[in-house]
Amino acid sequence: MFDEIEFEKIKRLPKYVFAAVNELKMSQRHAGADVIDFSMGNPDGPTPQHIIDKMVESVRKPKTHGYSVSKGIYKLRLAICRWYREKYGVELDPDTEVVASMGSKEGYVNLVQAITNPGDVAMVPDPCYPIHSQAFILAGGNVHRFKLEMREDYTLDEDAFFSSIETAMRESFPRPKYLVVNFPNNPTTVTIDLPFYEKLVDVARRERFYVISDIAYAEITFDGYRTPSILQVPGAKDVAVESYTLSKTYNMAGWRVGFLVGNPKLVGALVKIKSWLDYGMFTPIQVASTVALNEDQSCVREICDIYRKRRDVLVQSFGNAGWEIEKPRASMFVWARIPEPLRELGSLEFSKKLLVEANVAVSPGIGFGTYGDEYVRIALIENEERIRQAARNIRKFLKSHGCG
């Protein structure tokens, strides 16, 4: 019925590449296979007890049951300011430079809805977390994608990065207004250091574009590496906003808590659009999140340590099985180049084969962008024993294909 009524926005969204692997995973499971699942960035650990306790205490108080505050209760916004001061020495105004969101994804998507005029162009590195580009498409904008060049050790090739931006600013019409950055990066795990942001703020100011920085994995770092914030650069607030999430750091993915801070014009745009869309997160969630950010951070170190150990076991055991992978220095992922000669299959076919023949589920790199097709993303969400089992399966799998 009504064939002439078309949903143009939905038509602009590509088919979800990961769906193919997900469906296959389910059918393998239904057939009784023990699939070792590294495919989603969904933390498998529990939320720390003191955060749950605060949630329970708060939910017992009837006054928390009504509509909440869309931009976040004041105490939560103060806790966010405190977190930035302690971590990064950055001062924020809780009224104009901070907004809480229902997970950082919701904040990002609505920010992009709020700031994108029809046809606006955003620069987004490829590969990327898929919503980083799709949000602009959904909002009626366009995306200028450029290859995220990295070195062997998963550090950014900064010269290539800045030269891609220069090219985009010179050749893209209309001139891009936005750049999305995400370090530590999902899916590639690529990291940067503060001088990168210093240069980026300088370029953004000169070329006149806003930077939207996503530091979802800021606290999941190893071997002494620490994630910088773009807001540490003096004057960064003129050109940048940054988002963060409690999903990864505190195993709170299902709670849906994140925030966006920085440039008051962009923060204000998100606050305004959200005031039309929602009544804020359930107050007990906001109260518990305040405690998560304010109180003892030893749980963060424990969660981080679990990922580090898994990373070490994975890199070592997969290496012994014939799949050499460099150790990432941040995030809950390993970005693994597909071994020869299977690389020519492309990441989707390789992932399907790995699932069917070795019972190991990973995310095909192509799902994150064209330049991801020689890689797969392995999420560190299975325990060490399961990782070792996966390595045994992979050893046989690689042998049967003449590699390793």
Ligand X SMILES: Cc1ncc(COP(=O)(O)O)c(C=O)c1O
> Where along the sequence are the contacts to ligand X (CB under 6 A)?
41, 103-105, 129, 182, 186, 214, 216, 245, 247, 253, 258
* Shortest reach from residue 228's CB to ligand X, in Å: 16
* Shortest reach from residue 176's CB to ligand X, in Å: 20
Return the sign of the alpha-carbon dihedral for residues 396, 382, 103, 197. negative
Is 141 or 184 the residue whose CB approaches ligand X more closely?
Answer: 184
Residue with tokens 């004041």: 74
Is 200 or 252 the residue whose CB approaches ligand X more closely?
Answer: 252
If phi over 0 gives left and psi between -120 and 50 gives alpha, with beta otherwise, what is residue 389?
Answer: alpha
Query: How wide is the angle at C-alpha 119 spanned by C-alphas 118 and 122, nearest 5°?
Result: 115
Peptide bond into 184 cis (omega under 30): yes
* Shortest reach from residue 253's CB to ligand X, in Å: 5
Is 42 or 316 the residue whose CB approaches ligand X more closely?
Answer: 42
* Shortest reach from residue 345's CB to ligand X, in Å: 26
Distance CA 160, CA 195 (A): 15
Is 100 or 391 the residue whose CB approaches ligand X more closely?
Answer: 100
Is 38 or 397 the residue whose CB approaches ligand X more closely?
Answer: 38
* Shortest reach from residue 319's CB to ligand X, in Å: 25
* Shortest reach from residue 135's CB to ligand X, in Å: 11
How far are the Cα atoms of 8, 291, 389 from residue 53, in angstroms, in the given order?
46, 10, 36
Indicate the SS3 state at residue 339: coil
Is 38 or 323 the residue whose CB approaches ligand X more closely?
Answer: 38
Buried/exposed 367-380: b ≥16 CB within 10 Å, e otherwise: bbbebbbebbbbbb
* Shortest reach from residue 56's CB to ligand X, in Å: 22
* Shortest reach from residue 262's CB to ligand X, in Å: 16
Is 105 or 329 the residue whose CB approaches ligand X more closely?
Answer: 105
Residue 145: count of CB within 10 angstroms of its CB: 18
Helix intervals (H) in 172-282: 194-207, 246-249, 264-277
Distance CA 307, CA 225 (A): 14
Is 104 or 110 the residue whose CB approaches ligand X more closely?
Answer: 104
66: exposed, middle or buried (C-beta count within 10 Å: 0-12, 13-18, 19+)?
Answer: exposed
Are 90 and 244 in contact by the 8 Å Cβ rule? The answer is no
